[in-house]
Protein backbone atom coordinates (compact mmCIF):
# COMPACT_ATOMS: atom_id res chain seq x y z
CA UNK A 1 0.00 0.00 0.00
CA UNK A 2 2.76 2.43 0.95
CA UNK A 3 4.72 1.54 -2.21
CA UNK A 4 1.68 2.12 -4.42
CA UNK A 5 1.00 5.46 -2.72
CA UNK A 6 4.63 6.51 -3.12
CA UNK A 7 4.61 5.65 -6.82
CA UNK A 8 1.35 7.57 -7.28
CA UNK A 9 2.79 10.66 -5.56
CA UNK A 10 5.96 10.45 -7.66
CA UNK A 11 3.91 10.24 -10.86
CA UNK A 12 1.82 13.18 -9.66
CA UNK A 13 4.93 15.31 -9.15
CA UNK A 14 5.88 14.98 -12.81
CA UNK A 15 2.32 15.93 -13.79
CA UNK A 16 2.60 19.27 -12.00
CA UNK A 17 2.94 22.43 -14.14
CA UNK A 18 6.51 23.02 -12.99
CA UNK A 19 9.89 22.43 -14.71
CA UNK A 20 10.93 18.80 -14.93
CA UNK A 21 14.03 19.39 -12.80
CA UNK A 22 11.85 20.78 -10.00
CA UNK A 23 9.68 17.66 -10.15
CA UNK A 24 12.83 15.51 -10.14
CA UNK A 25 14.18 17.34 -7.08
CA UNK A 26 10.91 16.85 -5.22
CA UNK A 27 10.92 13.16 -6.18
CA UNK A 28 14.48 12.66 -4.91
CA UNK A 29 13.59 14.37 -1.64
CA UNK A 30 10.32 12.46 -1.37
CA UNK A 31 11.31 10.42 1.72
CA UNK A 32 12.11 13.59 3.68
CA UNK A 33 8.79 15.38 3.17
CA UNK A 34 6.34 12.59 2.29
CA UNK A 35 7.32 9.86 4.79
CA UNK A 36 6.24 11.92 7.84
CA UNK A 37 2.68 11.77 6.49
CA UNK A 38 2.94 8.02 5.90
CA UNK A 39 4.33 7.44 9.39
CA UNK A 40 1.71 9.68 10.99
CA UNK A 41 -1.18 7.74 9.47
CA UNK A 42 0.23 4.18 9.49
CA UNK A 43 2.71 3.75 12.36
CA UNK A 44 1.39 2.32 15.63
CA UNK A 45 2.79 1.00 18.90
CA UNK A 46 0.81 -1.75 20.69
CA UNK A 47 -0.40 -1.14 24.25
CA UNK A 48 -1.25 -3.88 26.70
CA UNK A 49 -1.07 -6.82 24.30
CA UNK A 50 -1.20 -10.03 26.37
CA UNK A 51 2.01 -12.03 26.42
CA UNK A 52 2.49 -15.74 26.79
CA UNK A 53 5.44 -17.80 27.87
CA UNK A 54 6.82 -20.15 25.22
CA UNK A 55 9.04 -23.19 25.63
CA UNK A 56 12.21 -23.71 23.58
CA UNK A 57 11.66 -25.50 20.32
CA UNK A 58 13.17 -28.83 19.46
CA UNK A 59 13.93 -30.69 16.26
CA UNK A 60 13.54 -28.90 12.94
CA UNK A 61 13.04 -25.19 13.69
CA UNK A 62 12.31 -22.22 11.41
CA UNK A 63 15.38 -20.13 10.57
CA UNK A 64 14.43 -17.31 12.96
CA UNK A 65 13.97 -19.68 15.88
CA UNK A 66 17.25 -21.39 15.03
CA UNK A 67 18.92 -17.99 15.26
CA UNK A 68 17.31 -17.40 18.66
CA UNK A 69 18.59 -20.78 19.86
CA UNK A 70 22.10 -19.87 18.68
CA UNK A 71 22.10 -16.62 20.67
CA UNK A 72 20.68 -18.28 23.78
CA UNK A 73 23.33 -21.01 23.56
CA UNK A 74 26.06 -18.39 23.17
CA UNK A 75 24.87 -16.64 26.35
CA UNK A 76 24.69 -19.92 28.26
CA UNK A 77 28.31 -20.56 27.27
CA UNK A 78 29.16 -17.29 29.06
CA UNK A 79 27.46 -18.48 32.25
CA UNK A 80 23.96 -17.09 31.78
CA UNK A 81 20.90 -19.10 32.80
CA UNK A 82 17.64 -18.84 30.88
CA UNK A 83 14.68 -17.35 32.76
CA UNK A 84 12.14 -17.85 30.00
CA UNK A 85 10.74 -16.74 26.65
CA UNK A 86 7.72 -14.68 25.69
CA UNK A 87 5.82 -13.66 22.59
CA UNK A 88 2.50 -11.85 21.97
CA UNK A 89 -0.61 -13.90 22.64
CA UNK A 90 -2.37 -12.40 19.65
CA UNK A 91 -1.17 -11.73 16.11
CA UNK A 92 -2.14 -8.04 16.14
CA UNK A 93 0.93 -6.82 14.26
CA UNK A 94 2.45 -8.00 10.96
CA UNK A 95 5.72 -8.70 12.78
CA UNK A 96 5.91 -11.30 15.55
CA UNK A 97 8.70 -11.01 18.11
CA UNK A 98 10.01 -13.76 20.38
CA UNK A 99 12.09 -12.60 23.35
CA UNK A 100 14.35 -14.76 25.52
CA UNK A 101 15.45 -13.45 28.93
CA UNK A 102 18.57 -14.75 30.68
CA UNK A 103 20.37 -13.78 33.88
CA UNK A 104 23.93 -14.35 35.05
CA UNK A 105 23.81 -16.00 38.50
CA UNK A 106 27.11 -14.48 39.68
CA UNK A 107 27.09 -10.94 38.25
CA UNK A 108 23.24 -10.67 38.18
CA UNK A 109 23.41 -9.03 34.73
CA UNK A 110 20.31 -9.52 32.60
CA UNK A 111 20.42 -10.32 28.91
CA UNK A 112 17.66 -10.25 26.34
CA UNK A 113 17.81 -11.63 22.83
CA UNK A 114 15.01 -11.39 20.31
CA UNK A 115 14.11 -12.31 16.77
CA UNK A 116 11.34 -10.66 14.74
CA UNK A 117 9.48 -12.55 12.01
CA UNK A 118 7.06 -11.52 9.30
CA UNK A 119 5.28 -14.08 7.12
CA UNK A 120 7.68 -16.73 8.38
CA UNK A 121 10.80 -14.73 7.42
CA UNK A 122 13.21 -13.24 9.94
CA UNK A 123 13.26 -9.44 9.65
CA UNK A 124 15.30 -8.44 12.69
CA UNK A 125 17.24 -9.52 15.76
CA UNK A 126 18.90 -7.98 18.76
CA UNK A 127 20.97 -8.53 21.90
CA UNK A 128 20.85 -6.51 25.14
CA UNK A 129 22.80 -6.61 28.42
CA UNK A 130 21.47 -4.66 31.41
CA UNK A 131 22.71 -3.80 34.90
CA UNK A 132 20.84 -1.61 37.36
CA UNK A 133 22.45 1.46 38.93
CA UNK A 134 22.07 2.54 42.54
CA UNK A 135 20.56 5.82 41.29
CA UNK A 136 17.51 3.96 40.01
CA UNK A 137 18.38 3.84 36.32
CA UNK A 138 20.16 1.29 34.10
CA UNK A 139 23.34 0.53 32.17
CA UNK A 140 22.28 -0.89 28.79
CA UNK A 141 24.65 -2.33 26.18
CA UNK A 142 22.96 -3.50 22.99
CA UNK A 143 23.31 -4.31 19.32
CA UNK A 144 20.48 -4.81 16.86
CA UNK A 145 19.60 -4.93 13.19
CA UNK A 146 16.35 -3.09 13.93
CA UNK A 147 16.66 0.66 13.57
CA UNK A 148 15.66 2.56 16.69
CA UNK A 149 14.20 5.94 15.64
CA UNK A 150 13.79 7.16 19.21
CA UNK A 151 16.48 7.73 21.84
CA UNK A 152 16.57 5.64 25.05
CA UNK A 153 15.41 6.97 28.39
CA UNK A 154 17.39 10.11 29.13
CA UNK A 155 18.45 8.91 32.59
CA UNK A 156 19.73 5.51 31.37
CA UNK A 157 23.35 5.00 30.32
CA UNK A 158 22.90 3.24 26.98
CA UNK A 159 25.17 2.23 24.12
CA UNK A 160 23.41 0.69 21.11
CA UNK A 161 25.40 -0.51 18.10
CA UNK A 162 23.61 -0.50 14.72
CA UNK A 163 24.43 -4.09 13.67
CA UNK A 164 24.83 -7.47 15.30
CA UNK A 165 28.20 -8.14 16.95
CA UNK A 166 29.71 -11.31 18.45
CA UNK A 167 28.13 -12.08 21.82
CA UNK A 168 31.56 -12.32 23.49
CA UNK A 169 32.47 -8.85 22.20
CA UNK A 170 29.25 -7.32 23.50
CA UNK A 171 29.66 -9.03 26.87
CA UNK A 172 33.22 -7.69 27.17
CA UNK A 173 32.00 -4.21 26.28
CA UNK A 174 29.20 -4.39 28.84
CA UNK A 175 31.50 -5.68 31.58
CA UNK A 176 33.97 -2.86 30.90
CA UNK A 177 31.15 -0.30 31.12
CA UNK A 178 29.85 -1.76 34.39
CA UNK A 179 33.35 -1.88 35.91
CA UNK A 180 33.89 1.80 35.07
CA UNK A 181 30.56 2.93 36.60
CA UNK A 182 30.83 3.77 40.33
CA UNK A 183 27.03 3.56 40.66
CA UNK A 184 26.67 0.07 39.16
CA UNK A 185 24.53 -2.06 41.48
CA UNK A 186 23.17 -5.58 41.36
CA UNK A 187 19.99 -6.72 39.69
CA UNK A 188 17.26 -8.48 41.57
CA UNK A 189 16.68 -12.09 40.59
CA UNK A 190 14.02 -12.43 37.89
CA UNK A 191 11.80 -15.52 37.95
CA UNK A 192 8.69 -14.47 35.97
CA UNK A 193 9.60 -13.55 32.39
CA UNK A 194 6.05 -12.51 31.45
CA UNK A 195 5.66 -10.12 34.39
CA UNK A 196 9.14 -8.71 33.76
CA UNK A 197 8.42 -8.03 30.08
CA UNK A 198 5.03 -6.51 30.86
CA UNK A 199 6.65 -4.10 33.32
CA UNK A 200 9.20 -3.06 30.69
CA UNK A 201 6.44 -2.40 28.16
CA UNK A 202 4.42 -0.44 30.74
CA UNK A 203 7.40 1.83 31.39
CA UNK A 204 8.02 2.20 27.65
CA UNK A 205 4.42 3.31 27.04
CA UNK A 206 4.67 5.90 29.83
CA UNK A 207 7.97 7.17 28.42
CA UNK A 208 6.60 7.39 24.87
CA UNK A 209 3.56 9.40 25.99
CA UNK A 210 5.69 11.73 28.13
CA UNK A 211 8.08 12.37 25.23
CA UNK A 212 5.41 14.08 23.15
CA UNK A 213 6.22 11.84 20.16
CA UNK A 214 3.22 9.53 20.68
CA UNK A 215 -0.45 10.00 21.48
CA UNK A 216 -2.96 7.53 22.85
CA UNK A 217 -6.60 7.11 23.77
CA UNK A 218 -8.25 4.85 26.34
CA UNK A 219 -10.27 3.08 23.63
CA UNK A 220 -7.31 2.61 21.26
CA UNK A 221 -5.07 -0.46 21.78
CA UNK A 222 -2.23 1.39 20.03
CA UNK A 223 -0.16 4.53 20.51
CA UNK A 224 0.12 6.60 17.36
CA UNK A 225 2.71 9.25 16.40
CA UNK A 226 2.14 12.93 16.97
CA UNK A 227 3.15 15.26 14.09
CA UNK A 228 6.40 15.95 15.96
CA UNK A 229 6.97 12.22 16.44
CA UNK A 230 6.39 11.48 12.75
CA UNK A 231 8.98 14.09 11.77
CA UNK A 232 11.43 12.81 14.37
CA UNK A 233 11.08 9.19 13.24
CA UNK A 234 11.62 10.20 9.61
CA UNK A 235 14.71 12.30 10.21
CA UNK A 236 16.38 9.76 12.52
CA UNK A 237 15.77 7.02 9.91
CA UNK A 238 17.33 8.84 6.94
CA UNK A 239 20.85 10.09 6.15
CA UNK A 240 22.68 12.03 7.35
CA UNK A 241 20.84 12.15 10.69
CA UNK A 242 20.71 8.35 11.03
CA UNK A 243 24.50 8.07 10.76
CA UNK A 244 25.03 11.07 13.04
CA UNK A 245 22.88 9.43 15.73
CA UNK A 246 24.74 6.13 15.47
CA UNK A 247 28.29 7.51 15.41
CA UNK A 248 28.57 8.49 19.12
CA UNK A 249 27.56 4.97 20.21
CA UNK A 250 30.15 3.32 17.96
CA UNK A 251 32.87 5.77 19.01
CA UNK A 252 32.11 5.29 22.69
CA UNK A 253 32.22 1.50 22.35
CA UNK A 254 35.60 1.73 20.61
CA UNK A 255 37.00 3.94 23.38
CA UNK A 256 35.74 1.68 26.16
CA UNK A 257 37.13 -1.50 24.59
CA UNK A 258 40.48 0.15 23.90
CA UNK A 259 40.75 1.18 27.56
CA UNK A 260 39.66 -2.17 28.98
CA UNK A 261 42.33 -4.60 30.11
CA UNK A 262 41.11 -7.26 27.69
CA UNK A 263 41.27 -4.89 24.75
CA UNK A 264 38.98 -6.06 21.99
CA UNK A 265 38.51 -5.96 18.26
CA UNK A 266 37.90 -2.69 16.51
CA UNK A 267 34.23 -1.86 16.08
CA UNK A 268 33.36 -0.52 12.69
CA UNK A 269 30.34 1.75 12.07
| pLDDT, position 224 | 92
Instruction: Name which residue leads in pLDDT, 265 or 11.
Output: 11
The pLDDT-based confidence of 57 (bands split at 50, 70, 90) is low
Q: What percent of the chain has pLDDT over 90?
A: 41
C-alpha–C-alpha distance, residues 6 and 17, integer Å: 19
| pLDDT, position 218 | 67
| pLDDT, position 74 | 97
pLDDT at 257 over 50: yes
Q: Render the burial of 222-256: b for 16+ CB within 10 Å, e for the rest.
A: bbbbbeebbbbbbbbbeeeeeeebbeebbeebbeb
C-alpha–C-alpha distance, residues 182 and 46, integer Å: 36
**Cα-flanking dihedrals φ and ψ of residue 127, to 5°?**
-140, 135
pLDDT at 12 over 80: no
| DSSP state for residue 71 in the 8-state scheme | H
> Among 45, 47, 53, 52, which Cα is nearest to 89's?
52
| pLDDT, position 267 | 43
What's the pLDDT tens digit per position in 196-244? 999 988 888 888 888 889 998 767 788 999 999 999 889 888 888 888 8
Mean pLDDT (the chain, rounded): 84
**Cα-flanking dihedrals φ and ψ of residue 157, to 5°?**
-100, 100
Mean pLDDT of the 252-265 span: 66
Q: Decide: residue 212, CB within 10 A, 0-12 exposed, 13-18 middle, 19+ buried.
A: exposed
11 CB contacts (<8 Å, ≥6 apart)? none
Three-class DSSP category at 107? coil
pLDDT at 42 over 70: yes
What's the pLDDT tens digit per position in 81-137? 999 999 887 666 667 889 999 999 999 999 999 999 888 788 999 999 999 999 999
What's the pLDDT tens digit per position in 73-93? 999 999 999 999 998 876 666
Element (H, E) at 56: none
Amino acid sequence: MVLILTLAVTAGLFALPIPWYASAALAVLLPYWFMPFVIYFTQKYPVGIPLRAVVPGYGELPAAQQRLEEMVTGLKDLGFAEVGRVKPLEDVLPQQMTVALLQHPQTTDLSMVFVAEQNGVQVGEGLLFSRSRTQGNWIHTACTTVHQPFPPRADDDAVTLPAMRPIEEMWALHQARVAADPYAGRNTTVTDVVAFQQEIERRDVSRHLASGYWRGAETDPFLRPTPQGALFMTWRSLPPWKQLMQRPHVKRAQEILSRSSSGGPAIQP
